[in-house]
């Protein structure tokens, strides 16, 4: 039997007007996510990830195409779609601060029309899961920011939706809480509760660590879809050479060598880190020799395996790095 197609996106286009220009934030996306899958949408800032999530969660209406979520069409059956999904955005805290956790959760359960019995069970379960049982009758404003975060998560799960849309789960969170969220998504939501999860991220480690399959998204389009391992195999070369030099290097330096793909160049603290790959070992070697003889003091040369980020750059030509600002 074929696995159930829980989310099916068909030729979806969403445009925005930005300073008089038309931006195709999502530019013809086709994607299928199967039941129980933990699927990642990976791409740099401005790729169109949030816009796509907003269309699927019926917060935005696409200009062309459509999607079905749990069998319901986002255009024709938006209310049914909303009952199927929980939408979680990193750093979001839409809670009532004057109310207690229990009151907040009761309120959101009522909005979704969850029965009393089920509401009681869900609240007890979620408070326990989030380690908030002791705080259940404190006002939200008195809770720590981590506790508020956890309560926001509980809030989006109160109606026990089978499908979760998670936009940048760890954006702006400290490392400890990021770890908690990742473990929670992978262990609890995906592993134990068997939810179907579509998450977006621009952190390649996060996608690599969490996801069964990943779609590379860049400039509104999907450029590759596969498991992290299969994506890494798509590099024509199985090895990536990382060279560390003293000083600062310019990207243009490498542009002339066509057989060598420069995957990344990072200048940091007076050092330059270059990651390169090539189908031609001779070309790679001569590039390094050229560096040694003419350009820079080479401190180390390492041969490593490709990371997901290397593959992303290789396949899309775009950088994933956070400091790459759009506009």
Ligand X SMILES: Nc1ncnc2c1ncn2[C@@H]1O[C@H](COP(=O)(O)OP(=O)(O)O)[C@@H](O)[C@H]1O
**48, interface contact from ligand X, Mg ion, none, CB < 5-8 Å by kind:** ligand X
DSSP string, 148-206: HHHHHHHHHHTT--SEEEEESTTTT--HHHHHHHHHIIIIIIIIIS--EEEEEES-HHH
Q: Which is nearer to Mg ion, 167 or 208 (CB)?
A: 167
Q: Does 221 bind Mg ion (CB under 5 A)?
A: no
Separation CA 287–CA 278 (nearest Å): 11
Name the minimum Å distance from CB 15 to ligand X: 9
Residues in a beta bridge with 22: 17
Name the minimum Å distance from CB 298 to Mg ion: 38
Separation CA 109–CA 114 (nearest Å): 5
Q: Which is nearer to ligand X, 49 or 150 (CB)?
A: 49
Name the minimum Å distance from CB 122 to Mg ion: 29
Q: Which residues of 186-225 are buried (b: 16+ CB within 10 A; e: fewer)?
A: eeebbeeeebbbbbbbbbbebbbbbbebbbbbbbbbbbbb
**43, interface contact from Mg ion, ligand X, none, CB < 5-8 Å by kind:** ligand X
Separation CA 127–CA 201 (nearest Å): 27
Q: Does 277 bind Mg ion (CB under 5 A)?
A: no
Q: From residue 30 to residue 49, what is the string marking binding to Mg ion with x (rule CB under 5 A)?
A: -------------------x
CB atoms within 10 A of CB 91: 14
Q: Does 170 bind Mg ion (CB under 5 A)?
A: no
Q: Measured on CA atoms in the order 132, 134, 138, 143, is the torsion positive or negative?
A: negative
Name the residues that contact ligand X, by CB under 6 A: 16, 18, 23, 25, 43, 45-51, 326
Q: Which is nearer to ligand X, 6 or 218 (CB)?
A: 218
Q: Which is nearer to Mg ion, 93 or 297 (CB)?
A: 93
Q: Which is nearer to ligand X, 60 or 245 (CB)?
A: 60
Name the minimum Å distance from CB 212 to Mg ion: 21
User: Which residues form the interface with Mg ion (CB under 5 A)?
Assistant: 49-50
């Amino acid at each position: 039997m074929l696995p159930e197609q829980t989310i099916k996106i068909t030729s979806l286009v969403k445009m925005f007007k930005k300073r008089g220009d038309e931006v195709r934030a999502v530019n013809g996306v086709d994607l299928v996510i199967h039941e129980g899958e933990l699927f990642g949408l990976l791409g740099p800032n401005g790729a169109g990830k949030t816009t796509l999530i907003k269309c699927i969660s019926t917060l935005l209406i696409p200009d062309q195409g459509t999607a079905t979520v749990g069998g319901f069409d986002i255009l024709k059956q938006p209310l049914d779609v909303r009952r199927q999904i929980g939408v979680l955005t990193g750093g979001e805290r839409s809670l009532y601060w004057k109310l207690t956790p229990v009151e907040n959760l009761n309120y959101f359960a009522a909005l979704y029309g969850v029965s009393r019995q089920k509401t009681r069970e869900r609240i007890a379960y979620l408070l326990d899961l989030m380690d908030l049982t002791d705080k259940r009758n404190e006002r939200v404003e008195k809770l720590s920011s981590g506790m508020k975060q956890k309560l926001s998560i509980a809030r989006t799960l109160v109606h026990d939706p089978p499908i979760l849309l998670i936009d940048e789960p760890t954006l702006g969170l400290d490392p400890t809480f990021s770890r908690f969220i990742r473990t929670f998504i992978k262990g609890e939501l995906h592993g134990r509760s068997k939810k179907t999860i579509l998450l977006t991220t621009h952190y390649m480690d996060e996608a690599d660590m969490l996801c069964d399959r990943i779609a590379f998204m860049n400039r509104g389009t999907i450029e590759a879809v596969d498991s992290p391992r299969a994506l890494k195999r798509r590099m024509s070369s199985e090895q990536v050479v990382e060279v560390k030099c003293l000083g600062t290097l310019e990207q243009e330096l490498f542009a002339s060598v066509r057989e060598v793909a420069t995957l990344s160049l990072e200048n940091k603290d007076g050092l330059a880190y270059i990651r390169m790959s090539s189908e031609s070992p001779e070309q790679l070697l001569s590039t390094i020799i050229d560096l040694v003889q003419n350009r820079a003091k080479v401190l180390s040369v390492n041969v490593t395996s490709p990371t997901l980020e290397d593959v992303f750059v290789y396949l899309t030509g775009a950088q994933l790095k956070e400091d790459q600002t759009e506009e």
